[in-house]
Structure 1
Amino acid sequence: MNGPSVVLSAEGLSKRFGGLKAVQQVSFKVYAGEILAVIGPNGAGKTTLLNLLSGVYRPSEGRLTLLGRDITQSSMEARCHAGLGRAFQIVRPFGEMTVHENVTVGALFGTPGMRLAHARELAQSLLERTGLAALADRPAHELTLLQDKRMEVARALATQPQVLLLDEVMAGLRPAEAQEAVALVRSVRDSGVSVLFIEHIMPVVRDLADRVVVMDQGQVMAEGSYRDVTSNPLVVAAYLGTEPELGAGELHA
């Protein structure tokens, strides 16, 4: 019996900045219908990895495939058109444009040749999905942090990705707001979009991730379920900076 198909595959990705090895021989797969978390202490190389995946950086070594297509040397725009979307940690909306217009821009960028009327319809449907329909005509600069995060996800979804990259979208949210964001990410996966996300809030990782990849010093040091990786002595040591005692318990970041 065949398992789930691979939608995104990294093979031996490395990135050097002069003498600094920011990412070293990182390999992993994202499967259809999966939510994959990438965690690690500060400076582990997580954001550099996300920049390699999305095309901000080109790898020094390695190969990246999306839906079976080699995108290692593709531009950010080409990766977006091929089905890779990204929502950023720091949201930079077009502040004087409305929320609806911001998401419409995402739709037009993601699908070359899309008619404006279709882009507007897609944007409206995404605002409804992300709980922002009532704010569609409000200038983006008036949004709260949680609303900003929702709009950022809506803009990324407007590009109609098959795989969505999320960069610490829970950062700065209160616990209740973070749980709303968790529900939103689950709904994205349930719509057929695979998700890879970076996160420091361990309860969010626990509640959301199907699998977890742990990075430290630019390398993958563990991979598996949340329970598996948080009980791994090497992972505990990387987070706490000490050799863990037996039964050290759950990590908190």
Structure 2
Amino acid sequence: MSGPSPDVVLRAQGLTKRFGGLLAVQNVSFTQYSGEVLAVIGPNGAGKTTLLNLLSGVYRPTSGRLELLGQDVTALSMEGRCHLGLGRAFQIVRPFPEMTVLENVTVGALFGQAGTRLPEARERAYELLERTGLAAHADKEAHELTLLQDKRLEVARALATRPRVLLLDEVMAGLRPAEAQEAVALVRSVRDSGISVLFIEHIMPVVRDLADRVVVMDQGQVLAEGTYREVTANPQVVAAYLGTETELQA
């Protein structure tokens, strides 16, 4: 990255996760910078979701170290990481179905920062509904939303916790092309608000359009790292995807 050295918001050093005899993630290291959109890609079974679970605190690593905003959070819980500024939106959206859209986001606002009062949380929740295009649906119960609206709600709930770094797990999955472009615009607006974004995605045009840098995983390890153009021109990456350079760069 050109210009003055940017601040590091997330640093993984030798992250490894073993499940019995299965080595799901092996010695993964990378650095994410303030304001950066970083994509993690790889074929099925590459270890991407396990890595995201290590970053968010769902799993503790077998070995390795993770720093968030300069602090060692390797042994910190999901809640502790959230309160420090790490948010996550999941691929499979699980809102509170019988609560309204506004109430769902309000819960996120109350959880994300200790001492937040209900009126303040509701105000922040409504601001986020406006920002994510859901204000007109504030009083609907969550089970009434479409898939695209569900995805927007998931992002709004994550943003309500006031993250400095936002993890996104295949939030484009299941969306039609036009809907995916709307979701891309939403992620860009998140980045433009000063939040660093790390996302897992298998739709390569989305990665091309969004990512400042790309980390490629294969068999639990980092295979390549660089710009989208650099990694998709890498013969090892092409071989891992069992595709062609043209397909990856589509």
Picking from 95, 103, 127, the partner of 1:93 is 95
- 1:252/1:231 CA distance change after superposition, 3 Å: closer
Contact 1:231 1:250 in 2 (8 A): no
Q: TM-score normalised to the size of structure 1?
A: 0.96
Percent identity (aligned): 81
Q: Does 1:226 align with 2:228?
A: yes
Residue 35 of structure 1: aligned partner = 37
User: 1:137 is paired with a residue of what secondary structure?
Assistant: coil
CA RMSD of aligned residues (A): 1.2
Q: In the TM superposition, what whole-angstrom CA distance separates every residue of 1:15-58 from its partner, at most 9, and x where no partner exists?
A: 00011100000000110000000000000000000000000000
Residue 200 of structure 2: aligned partner = 198
Q: Which amino acid aligns with 1:39?
A: I
Residue 142 of structure 2: aligned partner = 140
Structure-2 separation of matches of 1:101 and 1:165: 22
Distance apart, 1:249 and its partner CA: 2.4
Q: In the TM superposition, what whole-angstrom CA distance separates every residue of 1:125-171 from its partner, at most 9, and x where no partner exists?
A: 00000000000000000000000000000000000000000000000
Q: TM-score normalised to the size of structure 2?
A: 0.97
Picking from 146, 162, 178, the partner of 2:164 is 162
Q: Which amino acid aligns with 2:122?
A: R
User: 1:249 is paired with a residue of what secondary structure?
Assistant: helix
Structure-1 separation of matches of 2:202 and 2:247: 14
Matches within 5 A, 1:72-151: 72-151=74-153
Contact 2:232 2:249 in 1 (8 A): no
Q: Does 1:56 align with 2:53?
A: no
**Tell me, which stretches of 5 or more residues in structure 1 are unaligned?**
none
Contact 1:108 1:114 in 2 (8 A): yes
Contact 1:55 1:79 in 2 (8 A): yes
Q: Does 1:251 align with 2:248?
A: yes
Structure-2 separation of matches of 1:148 and 1:204: 19
Q: Which amino acid aligns with 1:238?
A: A
Contact 1:230 1:250 in 2 (8 A): no
User: 1:51 is paired with a residue of what secondary structure?
Assistant: helix
Residue 3 of structure 1: aligned partner = 5
Distance apart, 1:112 and its partner CA: 1.4
**Tell me, which stretches of 5 or more residues in structure 2 are unaligned?**
none
Structure-2 separation of matches of 1:239 and 1:252: 12
User: 2:115 is paired with a residue of what secondary structure?
Assistant: coil
Distance apart, 1:250 and its partner CA: 3.9
- 1:171/1:252 CA distance change after superposition, 3 Å: farther
Structure-2 separation of matches of 1:140 and 1:228: 41
Structure-2 separation of matches of 1:149 and 1:180: 11
Distance apart, 1:2 and its partner CA: 3.1
Deviating above 4 A after TM superposition, structure 1's stretches of 4 or more consecutive aligned residues are none
Residue 212 of structure 2: aligned partner = 210
Q: In the TM superposition, what whole-angstrom CA distance separates every residue of 1:93-139 from its partner, at most 9, and x where no partner exists?
A: 10010000000000001111101000000000000000000000000
Q: Which amino acid aligns with 1:94?
A: F
Contact 1:39 1:214 in 2 (8 A): yes
Matches within 5 A, 1:163-178: 163-178=165-180
Distance apart, 1:252 and its partner CA: 6.9
Structure-2 separation of matches of 1:227 and 1:2: 23
Structure-2 separation of matches of 1:117 and 1:8: 32
Aligned length: 248
